[in-house]
């Protein structure tokens, strides 16, 4: 007999199960609109040219070795990541009150911040508010560290846009000092972001209620193609003197998915408080991963700290962002041509990797069974899976399932 006999089987992760189903499908016209990973117009993964360059420089660098990184990670990478999100002219950085911790990509950065809050956030019984809907891991991570999770309204199914009133209302009524998890740009799964004006209103309420801001930034530069524009919300909050955490992922904007390059940027009230927080995170990190991996962070570090490579990276970012923006337009045009029932301008108005189409679970099932087009049950499509070869086919399928 086994001591584990009574362990119940857990369900497979929905999004990775979807990828497996797509791979197993032998239909020639199959389309993968599931997982959020960039694809070229040929439907292939893309190694960014600037990443290839950095990679070659590393191979030829005899000074590099495989020694352990410090517990908090590669120092110049951490600083460059903080500067990337807060801006080169950040007052908080100049004041010396910005900390940074290299983490296991964006997921690890959210976990690291959440674990710190579970242990040290002083507001008794504080709960974490996540958007409805959001990336499924948000709930899993916060509940996993023992912080109860609640939801704030976000998506308005009627306008297929932001439910600002609902969002602000919940922020107003949440107990003072609650934790709010916010997507700074390219909201996953809806692709709907607040405008700069709306972010100011959100910041007003966050300050008035003394809530804690936790940004999860997985798409800086990938959303609009412009690094500063995608960081507006975070920079606005920091400029107002708000204490905050930002989880940063380099999976999408560097195409470094498997290398797990991420960072948690900490904006604290004073340099001393920043040190206190970093020291506690170092203690926790030692017991979880001991020290972060070097490969991905070295690539990001090389690129961010070299002006020429940095420019090339911005060009690569534009290539990805613009192809996705073009595909939004192409899909919208095809649906318009077909006279598909309903309003579809949200496809072009949404931003980033994903579009929340408004398709129902039943319609998604027909997309899969009849057309071999794979997307998540909530009707989210990864725009990266669309290209000039399949956009007509996808539009025809959508047209068919909504009629
Ligand atoms: N947060 C959000 C909202 C995301 O969409 C993602 C990527 N799917 C992540 C965090 C983190 O991804 P990773 O761990 O690969 O950096």
Ligand 1, atom nearest to 104 Cα: 14
Confirm or reject: Cβ of 107 under 6 Å from ligand 1. yes
Confirm or reject: Cβ of 105 under 6 Å from ligand 1. yes
Confirm or reject: Cβ of 262 under 6 Å from ligand 1. yes
Confirm or reject: Cβ of 218 under 6 Å from ligand 1. yes
Place of tokens 């020290």: 291
Ligand 1, atom nearest to 217 Cα: 1
Between β-strands 354-356 and 380-382, what pairing exists: parallel, antiparallel or unpaired? antiparallel
Residues of 121-133 as b/e, b for ≥16 C-beta within 10 angstroms?
eeeeebbbbbbbb
* Mean pLDDT per 10-residue interval, the chain, length 403 residues: 96 90 96 94 97 96 96 98 98 98 98 98 97 97 98 95 97 98 96 97 98 98 94 98 98 98 98 98 98 98 98 97 96 97 94 93 97 95 96 98 95
The confidence score (pLDDT) of residue 390 equals 97
CB 250 within 8 A of CB 301: no
Q: What is the DSSP letter of 103?
A: E
Q: What token pair was written down for 145?
A: 């560290």
Closest CA to 316 of 50, 90, 119: 50
Report how far residue 310's alpha carbon sits from residue 379's, in angstroms, rounded to the nearest whole number: 36
- Output the DSSP codes for 230-282: HTHHHHHHHHTT--EEEEEE-TTTTT-GGG-EEEEEEE-SSHHHHHHHHHHHH
Q: Could you list the active site residues?
A: 135, 216, 252
Secondary structure element (H or E) that encloses residue 163, with its range = none
The confidence score (pLDDT) of residue 103 equals 98
Dist. CA 272 → ligand 1 center (Å): 30
CB 356 within 8 A of CB 192: yes
Mutation choice for ligand 1 from 251, 258, 262, CB with most ligand atoms inside 8 A: 251
pTM exceeding the 0.90 threshold for the entire prediction:
yes
Q: Name the residue at shortest CA distance from atom 2 of ligand 1.
A: 218
Confirm or reject: Cβ of 354 under 6 Å from ligand 1. no
CB 307 within 8 A of CB 92: no
Report how far residue 258's alpha carbon sits from residue 400's, in angstroms, rounded to the nearest whole number: 37
Confirm or reject: Cβ of 216 under 6 Å from ligand 1. yes
Closest CA to 313 of 374, 200, 225, 184: 225
Confirm or reject: Cβ of 263 under 6 Å from ligand 1. no
Q: What is the DSSP letter of 383?
A: G
The confidence score (pLDDT) of residue 14 equals 87
Confirm or reject: Cβ of 186 under 6 Å from ligand 1. no
Dist. CA 6 → ligand 1 center (Å): 33
Q: What is the DSSP letter of 194?
A: -
Q: How many CA atoms lie within 13 A of 98 on its CB side?
A: 27
Q: Is the peptide bond before 118 cis (omega within 30 degrees of 0)?
A: no
The region that residue 327 occupies, defined by phi over 0 for left and psi between -120 and 50 for alpha, beta otherwise, is alpha
Biggest alpha carbon distance in the chain?
64
Q: What is the DSSP letter of 349?
A: H
Q: Name the residue at shortest CA distance from atom 4 of ligand 1.
A: 218
Q: Name the residue at shortest CA distance from atom 12 of ligand 1.
A: 106
Dist. CA 187 → ligand 1 center (Å): 11
Confirm or reject: Cβ of 188 under 6 Å from ligand 1. yes
Ligand 1, atom nearest to 134 Cα: 3
Report how far residue 70's alpha carbon sits from residue 264's, in angstroms, rounded to the nearest whole number: 15
Rounded to whole angstroms, what are the CA distances from 77 to 8, 102, 307, 317, 321?
A: 41, 8, 15, 19, 24
Q: What is the DSSP letter of 187?
A: -
Mutation choice for ligand 1 from 131, 154, 218, CB with most ligand atoms inside 8 A: 218
Query: How many other C-beta atoms lie within 10 A of the C-beta of residue 365?
Result: 13
Report how far residue 371's alpha carbon sits from residue 170's, in angstroms, rounded to the nearest whole number: 40
Rg (CA), the chain: 21
Ligand 1, atom nearest to 106 Cα: 16
């Amino acid at each position: 007999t086994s001591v584990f006999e009574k362990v119940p089987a857990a369900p497979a992760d929905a999004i990775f199960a979807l990828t497996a189903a797509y791979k197993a499908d032998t239909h020639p016209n199959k389309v993968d609109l599931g997982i959020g990973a960039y694809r070229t117009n040929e439907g292939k993964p893309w190694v960014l040219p600037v990443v290839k360059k950095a990679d070659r420089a590393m191979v030829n660098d005899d000074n590099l070795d495989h020694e352990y990184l410090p517990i908090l990670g590669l120092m110049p990478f951490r600083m460059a990541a903080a500067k990337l999100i807060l801006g080169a002219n950040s007052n908080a950085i100049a004041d010396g009150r910005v900390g940074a911790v290299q983490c296991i990509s964006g997921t690890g950065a959210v976990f690291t911040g959440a674990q710190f809050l579970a242990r040290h956030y002083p507001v008794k019984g504080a709960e974490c508010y996540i958007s409805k809907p959001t990336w499924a891991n948000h709930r899993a991570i916060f509940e996993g560290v023992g912080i109860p999770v609640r939801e704030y309204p976000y998506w308005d199914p009627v306008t297929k846009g932001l439910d600002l009133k609902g969002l602000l209302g919940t922020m107003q009524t949440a107990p003072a000092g609650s934790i709010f998890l916010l997507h700074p740009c390219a909201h996953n799964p809806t692709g709907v972001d607040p405008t700069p004006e709306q972010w100011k209103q959100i910041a007003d309420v966050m300050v008035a209620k003394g809530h804690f801001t936790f940004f999860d930034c997985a798409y800086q530069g990938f959303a609009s193609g412009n690094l500063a524009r995608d960081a507006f919300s975070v920079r606005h909050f920091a400029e107002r003197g708000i204490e905050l955490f930002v989880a940063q992922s380099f999976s999408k904007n560097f195409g470094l998915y498997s290398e797990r390059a991420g960072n948690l940027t900490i904006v604290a009230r004073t340099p001393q408080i920043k040190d206190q927080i970093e020291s506690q995170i170092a203690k926790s990190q030692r017991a979880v991963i001991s020290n972060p991996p070097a490969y991905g962070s070295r690539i990001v570090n090389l690129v961010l700290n070299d002006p020429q490579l940095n420019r090339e990276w911005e060009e690569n970012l534009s290539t990805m962002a613009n192809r996705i923006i073009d595909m939004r337009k192409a899909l919208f045009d095809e649906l318009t041509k077909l006279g598909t029932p309903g309003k579809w301008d949200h496809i072009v108005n949404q931003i980033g990797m994903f579009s929340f189409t408004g398709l129902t679970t039943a319609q998604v099932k027909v997309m899969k069974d009849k057309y071999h087009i794979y997307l998540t049950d909530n009707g989210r499509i990864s725009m990266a899976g669309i290209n000039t070869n399949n956009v007509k086919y996808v539009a025809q399928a959508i047209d068919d399932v909504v009629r």
